[in-house]
Amino acid sequence: MLTDSALKVGADHLRRDAFLYVRQSSLRQVFENTESTKRQYALRERAVALGWPIERVHVIDSDLGLSGAQARDRDGFQHLVTEVALGHAGIVLGLEVSRLARNNADWHRLLELASMSSTLILDEDGVYDPASFNDRLLLGLKGTMSEAELHILKSRLQGGILNKARRGELELPLPVGLVYDGAGRVVLDPDRQVRDSVAMLFAVFRDLGSASAVVRRLQIQEVMFPRRVRRGIGKGDLLWGTLDVSRALQILHNPRYAGAFAYGRTRIAFNAQLRPVQREVKQQDWPVLIRDAHEGYIDWAEFERNQHKLRQNLGFSAGERGSMPREGNALLQGRLLCGKCGCRMRVHYEKLSGQLRPYYCCTEEAVRRAGKPCQRVHGLAVDEAVAALLLQTVAPAAIEVALAVQDEIAQRIEQAGVRRQAQLERASYEAELARRRYAKVDPDNRLVADALEADWNQRLRELDHLKREHERQQQDEQAQLDAPARQRITELARDFPRVWSDSRTSALERKRMLAMLIEDVTLVAGTSIAVHVRWRGGRTQSLCVDKPRPIALIRKTPPDVVKLIDELLGSSTDTQVAARLNELGHRNWRGESFSQKKVIVVRVAYKLRSRFERLRERGMLTGDEMAQQLGVSTSTIHELGRQGLLARHLYGNNHRCLYEPPLGGQLIRGAGGRHGGRPARFIAAPSTT
């Protein structure tokens, strides 16, 4: 007598292949729950009992160790769905519904395809035909129960984890510098070099206020930073290497260094490609935050100050005031507030005369509400006024600042020396350890002996390199602390304005010096620019800066210079006028000396009569006109002019002149000719006075 399961299997099903899907949720289950895996593989015997040859029973086990919560990344399940959709599968075998899918969307999609292709589904309880309403209803209920089971399991696990986290007893991976002791308590790393390295990072950030600046200083001082291997071979081992900005930010953002226990700092979300990614959660939304849960490197107040500073360093997008100094020659970048709307003002650069000139603009209204910008101020005048105020305020205290700088340099050098000495001690220990390993090996075992000898030699080379670098750094640092260096610092402090104006002082360094003393600056543009400076500590000062003149007024030649040019043109050429102006110390709007072309430009712009026009008004004649009047050639007139027999007046170069008309006199012709003779002469008439 045929069973109900056998009655559902027809010839059309047997003509197609059988597919057995095998899955375990994790690799740990694959290795530990071996009995479940054996039960799944045993379903091949069920397929053979229903009439399928063993060679046509295909096992899909490529998804072992993958969760069934979703179909993505499960290549085996995707392959199974493809075979069902193409009508190649007569039956799909699985130990239970949860092995095939834990998601109703994936499960019902498989049922729909199986119903359309007349594919049977078999589990441990029996055979089901998705085309049958009763069987499909039962399979749907099993899928819902499978999804609910996963939800219940996850809820229980998450509830237990959260409850343990609320008590602060949940063991989470600790960052470098913190470890668990024998009683499970969080303590500082017993390795002194590790502790000192982490403490130094927070101390340097306390001074510089920037993660990038911290990394640059540690790289300059050649200080190595520790990290621990989290997984794989060598898990828990301590490695030393250079610090990058990403790791520095991770350390600065981690509340464990402030002695706080935090849980739920990140959550799983899905991106546009529906792939799970980690998203940061704001501090006020953390499920668990227990302050002073264990010993830390900084206190909670300093941790919050660090977070505030890091948000400021993000720039304009963070909406914070006083960002870190960046590129560009705008002195007040990141510290300007609009006096009309209270928002931060941005910096805009325009190229003028080959140089980038800063403009401070408030674009909040235009960007947020498509309105008009509040105000736009030329930056040079404001920068100069604030710089002058800063120099006037800082100069009396410059000596004290210089002494503080010397002490800070000495302290910094001492700390760097301690770090490098610790690195030398660790390298020496590792070299000695490699020597001991090599000494204990059997000399006849050359494979092991050669490897240990090579490791010993490598440790010795690293130790020698560190020693040479340590000696070089010591020499460089001693040069920074010798008497001449201290004297130079003191001299520079006495002449702080010269240091500020020195071309070797970069704009970035000026902005850093300004940020130490000035909190922010508020601008209000009107007929003049009102500048309100708020110093560190709360003291305020106000300035009034004249607006820069328009370029048309800047280029305009002063009236007294125009008047002088007009007077000089009565007796001088353009070249002579330029020479006279330079003798008197006059310059154009760019500070350049005058030339013939510049005088011509001024003369044309102000419609002054030229030297030629003035001479013509006085009745002067050209060479051609004089030759026609006297009845000689033009060359004869020029020759008489060069000899001084005819009065001439220059209006250009030596070849551009006009002649005074003769009032009388006699022109005596010479013999002329190519071979010489007496030249023509002009005898002026005797005076009648």
Tokens of 365: 């209204």
Query: CA-to-CA distance for 20 and 95, rounded, in angstroms?
Result: 9
C-beta neighbour count of 287 within 10 angstroms: 13
Tokens of 438: 């090599």
CA 151-157-159 angle, to 5 degrees, is 95
Query: CA-to-CA distance for 110 and 117, rounded, in angstroms?
Result: 11
Burial classification of residue 227, based on how many CB atoms lie within 10 Å of its CB (0-12 exposed, 13-18 middle, 19 or more buried): middle
Catalytic choice (25, 98, 197, 572): 25
Query: CA-to-CA distance for 105 and 144, rounded, in angstroms?
Result: 10
Map residue 7 onto helix, strand or coil.
Answer: helix
Q: Which residues contact 569 (CB under 8 A, 6 or more apart)?
A: 577, 603, 608, 609, 610, 611, 614
How do the residues of the chain divide into helix, strand and coil, expressed in percent and rounded to 5? 50, 15, 35
Query: DSSP label at 344?
Result: B
Burial classification of residue 660, based on how many CB atoms lie within 10 Å of its CB (0-12 exposed, 13-18 middle, 19 or more buried): middle
**Strand duo 288-290 + 355-361: pairing:** unpaired
CA dihedral 618, 623, 626, 628 (to 10 degrees): -140
Strands of 94-249, DSSP E: 120-123, 126-128, 178-180, 186-188, 225-228, 238-241
Reply yes or no on whether 25 is catalytic: yes
**Strand duo 648-650 + 376-378: pairing:** unpaired
Query: CA-to-CA distance for 522 and 530, rounded, in angstroms?
Result: 8
The string of DSSP letters for 403-445 reads HHHHHHHHHHHHHHHHHHHHHHHHHHHHHHHHHHHHHHS-TT-
Contact yes or no for 244/252 (Cβ under 8 A): no
Closest to 259 (Cα-Cα) out of 204, 286, 287, 297: 297
Cα torsion 567, 571, 573, 578: sign: negative
Number of helical H runs and strand E runs in the chain: 27, 24
Query: CA-to-CA distance for 100 and 41, rounded, in angstroms?
Result: 14
Residue numbers annotated as active site: 25
